[in-house]
Amino acid sequence: MVTETDLEQLHDALVVAEGRTIGQVGQVFLDQVTHAPVFVTVTVRLFTSRSSFVPLQGAHLADGRVTVPFSRSMIKSAPLLDPQDRLDPEQTADIYRHYGLCANDG
């Protein structure tokens, strides 16, 4: 589980899906109430600056790598949103829905 005490380690960590490194953490998004990290962005498409949002639910952080429980293809097909300072509730719901999660899943 990734918590707010892991924030410094999350920045620039490698993102691993299905045992393979798929990219590097771009931005970290925090829950507005708990300030715990809930999403990271990762660029998994060549020749683009667009990033995929990846939930940190079920993720594990160790040795500069954040391992996520999602497939590379699921991450690549995530809704394309421009990283901003915060996500609105509709964008957040879209991301959770894409990954088959609820905002309250742990």
- Say which amino acid occupies 36: A
Q: Is residue 103 part of a domain?
A: no
**Does the structure show a pLDDT above 70 at 48?**
no
Q: Is residue 104 part of a domain?
A: no
String of b and e for 8-25 (b: at least 16 CB within 10 Å)? ebbeebebbbeeeebbbb
Q: What global pTM score does this model have?
A: 0.87
Residue 33's pLDDT is what? Answer: 86
What mean pLDDT, rounded, does the chain reach? 87
Q: Is residue 55 part of a domain?
A: yes
Q: Is residue 48 part of a domain?
A: yes
What are the DSSP calls for 44-106, one per residue?
-STT----EEEE-TT-EEETTEEEESS-HHHHHTS-B----S---HHHHHHHHHHTT--TT--
Task: Give me the domain span that covers residue 38.
Answer: 4-98
**Calpha distance 31→39 (Å, rounded):** 9
Q: Is residue 54 part of a domain?
A: yes
Q: What is the CATH number of the domain that holds 67?
A: 3.90.50.10
Residue 103 pLDDT level (bands cut at 50, 70, 90):
confident
Residue 62's pLDDT is what? Answer: 95
Q: Is residue 106 part of a domain?
A: no
Q: Is residue 12 part of a domain?
A: yes
Structural domains in the chain (count): 1
**Calpha distance 37→20 (Å, rounded):** 22
**Calpha distance 3→61 (Å, rounded):** 9
**Does the structure show a pLDDT above 80 at 34?**
yes
